[in-house]
Structure 1
Amino acid sequence: MAHCSTFIFRTHAMRHSSSCLVLAAVLALPLSLAGCTPVGVAVGAGATVGSVALEERGFEQGVKDRVTEAAISKSLFDYNLDAFADVGVEVVEGRVLLTGRVDKPEHRVEAVRFAWQEEEVVEVINEIRVGTSDDALADRGKDAWIATQLRTKITLDSQVKAVNYSAEVVDGTIYLFGIAQNESELKRVVAHARTIENVRRIVPDYVRMKDDPSRAG
């Protein structure tokens, strides 16, 4: 089974009637699917709807992303739970980041196909690896520890808005995802990641800047 972070959705954060309808759709999905990842951590409090209003992407977009994330995960698991049990899904502003492992190349392709079936998706980033780890259980334990350490470090850093970041860790590789206030902030997050034991690689490429023109609309 996949290693998942289970997130609590708080309805008291609802502000707009249109967003309430989207949130209802999230609540109708199994909680175990929302934000489900191999070793994924929504850094800070970003995993809850209660904190979505604090995120750079805004409350309504954040809830839409949660719905899309859960729907993709559900589609993958409904299609073949064994094949996609170790695949993680993160969605930020319609951009989908797929991470984890599958046994066959065709499963990697299928994951992308399922992601594109959701109408809110504007981009799919495929970092899924093909093949099994030599010591999967030990690797998962290390990955979980890395993710927890990173979450703690950037949450305690007053110069980082941790709520805007998520991190997927696969075999010691940290995939950063989200929205940075500026390059300086992102460099601080990367610097924190470099201090963590057993980190093999850091991929910050998928974090967008707050003022990135591509975020418009």
Structure 2
Amino acid sequence: MTGIESVMFILEPTNVGDHTDDLITFGELPERVKAFGYFVDLSMLSPGDILLFDGVEPTKGGRAVKVIQSKSFEETHARWSHAAIYISKGVIVEALPRGGVVERSISEYVPGYTIRALRIPDLSEAERFEIAFAALRKTKQYYSLVGAGFEFVRVTLNLQNSKYRIGRMVFCSQICYASIIEGAGVFPEGCPIADVVYPAALSGSSTFESVKLRWARINGVSEY
């Protein structure tokens, strides 16, 4: 499979047709998730997977990311405004404007986001865990708020790159990109080595295959 596939598997809150009744979760689910009636089927995910998110009602930041990405990427990929690394048991590592690089539950994105998962095929289980560990080591880093503002202005005005910022950016997709390199020694195809890596670049990279996701109906809880 390539980053541009005939079938791009995505999990939409408006379409729960393909679901399982075998829910596995860890801890209490938020009330909004219970009201929705479905949760992500965690059995479909592996440590080190990249998760991409598209808000049903995008935030200002999400809209800004889409504007930037639309200048260089097709809508299929430009739609994804946020990225995270899956760790295990419903936990992800992500970079947020408020809070920096943190661990959170994937439940934060249910049901308000469409979700896509990407995976590097043919990695060993140990390599997948190394990607997750690399992401965990980045927690507590500060988000590059100034860099984000600069990037928006730079792309909007079509300015040249500024050399000072390369290697200092702490964005959601940049954390994913760096974790993959550090954990598995893989440089995702199509992602710039000396520039900001956007969620759209990860979405369009032929290094990844799209993981088929499905919803799990909340009608009882099973534990591992």
Higher relative contact order (CA 8 A, sep 6+): 2
Same fold, TM-score > 0.5, yes or no? no
TM-score, length basis structure 2: 0.31
Q: Larger helix proportion, structure 1 or 2?
A: 1
- Pair member with larger Rg: 2
